Amino acid sequence: MGWENKGRGGRYYTRSRRVEGRVIREYLGGGLAGEMAAEADHMERERREAEKQRQRRELERLEALSAPVEELHEAAAVLARAHLIAAGCHRHKGEYRRARNA
């Protein structure tokens, strides 16, 4: 996307977009039409950036909320393993089994 200069000094605005894996350059015009297209593209880029920032903040908020739950999950897993070992179980290929002589 951007302004390009013609051979005789005129400027025109083009927009690049991907169609079926190929990049297509779309001529949007010079003068007022080009200015309007450039402004529309600028506003769209700002909108997308604002949306990315909003999503980033929301993700950080959710991660902060889930941190205590993660800690509780880890503590529960440690307690469960300790209980199984105390009951005479052992791990075999990732799962706990009772010992044969117990």
Nearest in space to 41 (alpha carbons), one of 20, 26, 57, 21: 26
First to last CA, the chain: 73
From the CB of residue 36, how many other CB atoms can be counted at a distance below 10 Å?
A: 13
Share of the chain above pLDDT 70, in %: 97
The CA-based angle 91-92-94, given to 5 degrees, is 75
pLDDT surpasses 60 at 102:
no
45-98 tens-digit pLDDT:
999 999 999 999 999 999 999 999 999 999 999 999 999 989 889 888 888 888
63-80 b/e (C-beta count within 10 Å ≥ 16 → b): eeeeeeeeeeeeeeeeee
Reported as a pLDDT band with limits 50, 70 and 90, residue 1 is: low
28-59 tens-digit pLDDT:
888 898 889 999 999 999 999 999 999 999 99
More confident residue, 8 or 3: 3
